[in-house]
Amino acid sequence: MTSNAKIVLRKKPNKNGLYPLAIRISKNRHSNYHYIGHYIELEYWDEKNIRVRKSHPNAANLNNLLVKKLSEANKMLMDLQAEKTRFIIKSY
């Protein structure tokens, strides 16, 4: 059972031209996106380091939130793997 979680910036903007921040959870090559409820402009996203650039006014808060949500997703995946239960990625 291969599974992982990763921070991503979705490439489809909303009506205001902002891009949603999300956690992508993958299991056996099937992915599901869980949006964290925050949007940023594309220029503020650091693709290399997978984080919000320091030039964004709320960069520290957003990066802390991303790390927290990623940690929660990884903990959930590890707990489910430890229990050896079958799970559907939409249940997160």
- Give pLDDT tens digits for 29-66: 889 999 999 999 999 999 999 999 999 999 999 999 99
Taking alpha carbons only, the member of 87, 57, 40, 41 closest to residue 25 is: 87
Measured CA distances, 58 to 6, 34, 49, 78, 89 (Å): 21, 20, 17, 30, 30
Mean pLDDT of 77-84: 80
pLDDT value at position 88?
Answer: 59
pTM, two decimals, is 0.82
* Model confidence at 90: pLDDT above 60: no
In the predicted structure, residue 3 carries a pLDDT above the cut 90: no
Which residues span the domain enclosing 55?
3-91
Count structural domains, the chain.
1
